[in-house]
Copies of this chain bind each other. A is one copy, B any other.
Amino acid sequence: MNKRIDENLRGAVPLAHLFLRERVKAGDRVVDATSGNGRDTLLLAQLVGEGGQVWAFDLQEDALTATREILAAHGVLGRVELVLAGHERLAEVVDGPLAAVVFNLGYLPGGDQRIITRPTTTLPALAAALGLLAPGGLLLIVIYTGHDGARAEEEAVTGWAAGLDPRAFNVWACRQPNRSTAAPYLVLVEKGKP
């Protein structure tokens, strides 16, 4: 794989992908907690290689269908377990330790905007993900701010991240100051190495 990435860092998803490319290596176990259109799942499947394992969750059958298609088209479907369930069931299904877990909070692009992630399920899922991270593992949370209920979720997630023990977790919130405050942004949690 070319070390120089092909994407501009024009949004929170490409920024999250830069971190994944830096950290996830062949043989790793990783989770896409919100598979959506499958683009994060595809990158994860490519990075972990044949010996790795990806779990991809989504509540919506349409999302998993789109994800299955993009994975099959790239010949990496065999590395991915698709789970038709909300990410709150992450801890039941996934075996750690995990090199990375990715959340996209909001709604499925092009899908039903009434079906959104909610703090009541998101916060337990984030906590479960943190518990499964390997030392040096990354939790990447892309936060969308445009939809109904987004503000409450955003405040819940950023409050949760701000409260994490700085001796155990390195937390970064990355925003784009030359774009609208409504632009999606990235919260990154790294489980510190001993």
Contact = CB atoms under 8 A, between A and B. Distances in A.
Interface in A137-189: 158, 161-166, 169-179, 187-188
A34 B4 CA distance: 25
Contacts of A164: 178
A22 B3 contact: yes
A86 interface: no
A190 B7 CA distance: 11
A189 B55 CA distance: 33
Chain A interface, >50% SS class: mixed
A161 to B, nearest CB: 6
**A interface, how many residues as a size bin?**
35 or more
B158 A177 contact: yes
A8 interface: yes
A161 B136 contact: no
A102 B21 CA distance: 22
Contacts of A5: 22-23
